[in-house]
């Protein structure tokens, strides 16, 4: 395990040299004492945590409606009905009844139901002639009604879509126009309902999609390799999605400082968040300029980096050899504060556990960088994602997942009485307007009890 430090101030540090034959502990010294960068005072714009009135009763559905409000769903209904009218004008035999707000909430409930109870195809949820048939979806709406709503679901007005399509190839064209109305609503709700705690994480998230849109990306290191790439800001303490931005191309962030720089700065709005936050990121984003500029904006930052970059004011550079080399840059921490890690080492008498010094930036990075990964994990438990012909429907389903997951996190903050599965079950029941305790279809037996059996 090797620790190597590059900083504006120098200090004592240690190197453990290990080979198959020997283990040596070497101490290095330099002139000055290790000092942490100037501490930033934590001044959030609002009290961290949920921003709801504690005297109100908040059910899973009422929290979900904070993201998918009746106003937002009314817009979805209006645009969906307009799209169906266009299709009906072309195909006179096409049957359609305008969808209502309550019916669309039931539709959402079925999507979450299918997320919890996985079957091989959508039509299997309405099949009654096989061994694994389920009865619940048919009690909410017919299969044909579910499919026609899915086909016509629109987040923007079809006429406005055509106007935007005419601008293709110009600077005025918006690639995300079809999802923009709902996306902006969800982003605003994420920031209004919950204010994050001090430690934040920035990372990419992939939404699976192989449609040829010009926006889909390939990321070899991600579990989902093909899809839409989102830059996500998450609360490291619980995985709450604070904000996100969908990547549409290099021209999406045109400030001239590079994609990674612009992605981070676009998510960190000081007027919304406040100041003094600690932001953790990986080596795709970390650069001395970004960390220095964030420090000037009263944001501390810490992240892994790729090169040995030195001689930047307020920055501490740490290189530490664990199972592989780890390089971290920070405007928050001193290089070493006494942290240790446990590792198994081989000695002449066999393997034993030993403590080794670990740089403070590495310890903090490992502790707080997982905010987006935790968020992704919660999203995947009951994700509504499934195969669909329309690329914008993929993002719509992801917005549903964000709303349900963030609603669960807020509910847990408020009450802590439900686990994730119980929350989703209650949400489905409320959206569909049914009770969770559905009585069995048959209440009598068709045989005569045998005495003494």
The C-alpha atoms of residue 440 and residue 453 are separated, in whole angstroms, by 25
CB of 228 closer than 8 Å to CB of 215: yes
The C-alpha atoms of residue 352 and residue 246 are separated, in whole angstroms, by 48
Q: Going by DSSP bridges, is the β-strand pair 316-321/226-235 parallel, antiparallel, or unpaired?
A: unpaired
Among 227, 159, 163, 155, residue whose Cα is nearest residue 185 = 155
What parts of the chain have a pLDDT lower than 50? 1-31, 438-448, 453
pLDDT tens, 351-393? 888 888 888 899 999 999 999 999 999 999 999 999 888 999 9
242: Cβ–Cβ under 8 A, 6 or more apart, which residues? 190, 191, 194, 196, 200, 233, 234, 235, 267
pLDDT tens, 410-425? 999 999 889 999 999 9
pLDDT at position 5: 44
Half-sphere exposure of 396 (CA within 13 A, CB side): 24
pLDDT at position 17: 35
144: Cβ–Cβ under 8 A, 6 or more apart, which residues? none
The C-alpha atoms of residue 306 and residue 308 are separated, in whole angstroms, by 7
pLDDT at position 307: 66
pLDDT at position 254: 64
Instruction: Give the end-to-end CA distance of the chain in Å, rounded to a whole number.
Output: 71
The C-alpha atoms of residue 70 and residue 398 are separated, in whole angstroms, by 19
Among 96, 114, 91, residue whose Cα is nearest residue 152 = 96
Residue 227 Cα distances to 37, 60, 208, 400, angstroms: 39, 30, 4, 17
The C-alpha atoms of residue 440 and residue 32 are separated, in whole angstroms, by 76
The C-alpha atoms of residue 239 and residue 412 are separated, in whole angstroms, by 12
Which stretches of 369-419 are DSSP H helices? 371-381, 391-414
The C-alpha atoms of residue 289 and residue 310 are separated, in whole angstroms, by 12
pLDDT at position 50: 93
Partners of 233 in the beta sheet?
202, 243
pTM for the complete prediction? 0.86
pLDDT at position 2: 45
pLDDT at position 78: 97
The C-alpha atoms of residue 273 and residue 264 are separated, in whole angstroms, by 14
Enter the DSSP assignment of 414. H
pLDDT at position 310: 53
pLDDT at position 217: 82
52: Cβ–Cβ under 8 A, 6 or more apart, which residues? 58, 66, 193, 410, 414
424: Cβ–Cβ under 8 A, 6 or more apart, which residues? 60, 112, 115, 116, 382, 404, 408
pLDDT at position 22: 36
Q: Going by DSSP bridges, is the β-strand pair 199-208/300-304 parallel, antiparallel, or unpaired?
A: unpaired
Taking residue 214's Cβ as centre, other Cβ atoms within 10 Å add up to 8
* Interhelix angle 391-414/420-432, nearest 10 degrees: 110
The C-alpha atoms of residue 315 and residue 325 are separated, in whole angstroms, by 19
Partners of 358 in the beta sheet?
none
Rounded to the nearest 5 degrees, what angle is found at the Cα of 152, between the Cα atoms of 148 and 153? 110
């Amino acid at each position: 395990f090797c620790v190597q430090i590059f900083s504006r101030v120098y200090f004592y540090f240690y190197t453990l040299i290990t080979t198959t034959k020997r283990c040596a502990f070497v101490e290095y010294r330099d002139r000055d004492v290790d000092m942490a960068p100037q501490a930033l005072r934590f001044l959030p714009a609002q009290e961290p945590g949920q921003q709801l009135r504690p005297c109100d009763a908040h059910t899973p559905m009422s929290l979900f409606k904070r993201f998918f409000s009746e106003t937002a769903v009314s817009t979805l209904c209006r645009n969906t009905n307009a799209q169906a009218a266009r299709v009906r004008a072309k195909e006179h035999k096409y049957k359609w009844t305008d969808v209502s707000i309550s019916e669309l909430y039931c539709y959402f409930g079925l999507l979450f139901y299918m997320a919890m109870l996985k079957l091989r195809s959508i039509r299997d949820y309405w099949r009654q002639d096989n061994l694994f048939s389920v009865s619940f979806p048919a009690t909410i709406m017919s299969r044909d009604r579910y499919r026609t709503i899915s086909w016509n679901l629109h987040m923007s007005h079809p006429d406005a879509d055509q106007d935007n399509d005419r601008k293709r190839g110009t600077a005025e064209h918006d690639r995300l126009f079809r999802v923009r109305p709902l996306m902006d609503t969800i982003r605003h709700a994420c920031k209004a309902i919950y204010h994050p705690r001090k430690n934040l994480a920035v990372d990419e998230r992939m939404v699976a999609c192989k449609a040829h849109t010009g926006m889909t990306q390939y990321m070899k290191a991600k579990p989902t390799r093909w899809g839409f790439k989102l830059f996500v800001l998450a609360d490291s303490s619980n995985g709450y999605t604070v904000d996100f931005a969908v990547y549409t191309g290099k021209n999406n962030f045109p400030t001239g400082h590079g994609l990674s720089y612009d992605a981070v700065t676009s998510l960190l709005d000081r007027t919304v968040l406040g100041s003094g936050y600690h932001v953790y990121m990986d080596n795709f984003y970390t650069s001395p300029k970004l960390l220095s500029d964030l420090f000037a904006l009263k944001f501390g930052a810490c992240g892994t980096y790729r090169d040995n970059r030195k001689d930047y004011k307020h920055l501490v550079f740490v290189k530490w050899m664990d199972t592989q080399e780890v390089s971290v840059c920070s405007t928050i921490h001193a290089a070493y504060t006494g942290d240790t890690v446990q590792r198994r080492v081989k000695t002449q008498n066999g393997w034993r556990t030993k403590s080794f010094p670990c740089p403070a930036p590495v310890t903090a990075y490992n502790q707080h960088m997982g905010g987006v990964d935790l968020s992704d994990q919660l999203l995947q438990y009951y994700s509504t994602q499934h195969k669909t012909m329309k690329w914008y429907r993929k993002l719509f389903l992801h917005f549903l997942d964000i709303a349900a997951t963030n609603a669960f996190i807020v509910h847990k903050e408020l009450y802590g009485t439900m686990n994730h599965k119980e929350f989703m079950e209650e949400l489905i029941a409320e959206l569909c307007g049914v009770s969770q305790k559905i009585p069995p279809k048959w209440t009598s037996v068709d045989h005569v009890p045998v005495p003494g059996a």
